[in-house]
């Protein structure tokens, strides 16, 4: 069994993740979905973007990278939110 060739490039790190984050936030605002469903929406958008745009023609690579796109988006958002909350609390104490 040959594994697919998967390369992480500029697209993955700089364009795909912020794009998925923006679309996910837009979906959250427009459709007023519950917060608990937002990570699932990010995963679905990541899978769709990867399967149909980034890794078109290679389903296994599309699913594999889509999973990373979705969860990288969730992790980036959580990290950013935690950092902002921490910064604000530190400013309030000073």
Q: How far apart, in whole angstroms, are the C-alpha atoms of residue 20 and residue 75?
A: 12
Residue 47 corresponds to which tokens in the numbers above? 């899978």
pLDDT of the residue at 11: 72
Q: Is the pLDDT of residue 2 over 90?
A: no
Q: Which of 11, 63, 20 is nearest to 39 (CA)?
A: 20
Q: Is the pLDDT of residue 31 over 80?
A: yes
Question: CA 73 to CA 12: how far, in whole Å?
Answer: 11
Total structural domains within the chain: 1
**Residue-wise pLDDT tens digits, 54-80:** 888 889 989 998 999 999 999 999 999
In a domain, 3, yes or no: no
Structural domain contains residue 1: no
42: domain range? 10-93
The answer to the question of residue 2 being in a domain is no
- The pLDDT, as a whole number, for residue 42 is 97
- Residue 83 domain-assigned? yes
Find tokens 């958008």 and name the residue. 45
> What pLDDT was estimated at residue 8?
65
């Amino acid at each position: 069994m040959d594994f697919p060739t998967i390369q992480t490039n500029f697209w993955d790190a700089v364009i795909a993740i912020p794009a998925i984050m923006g679309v996910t936030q837009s979906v959250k605002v427009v459709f007023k979905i519950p917060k608990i469903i937002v990570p699932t929406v990010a995963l679905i958008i990541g899978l769709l973007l990867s399967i149909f745009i980034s890794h078109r023609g290679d389903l296994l690579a599309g699913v594999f990278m889509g999973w990373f796109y979705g969860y990288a988006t969730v992790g980036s958002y959580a990290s950013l939110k935690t950092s902002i909350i921490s910064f604000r609390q530190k400013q309030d104490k000073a």
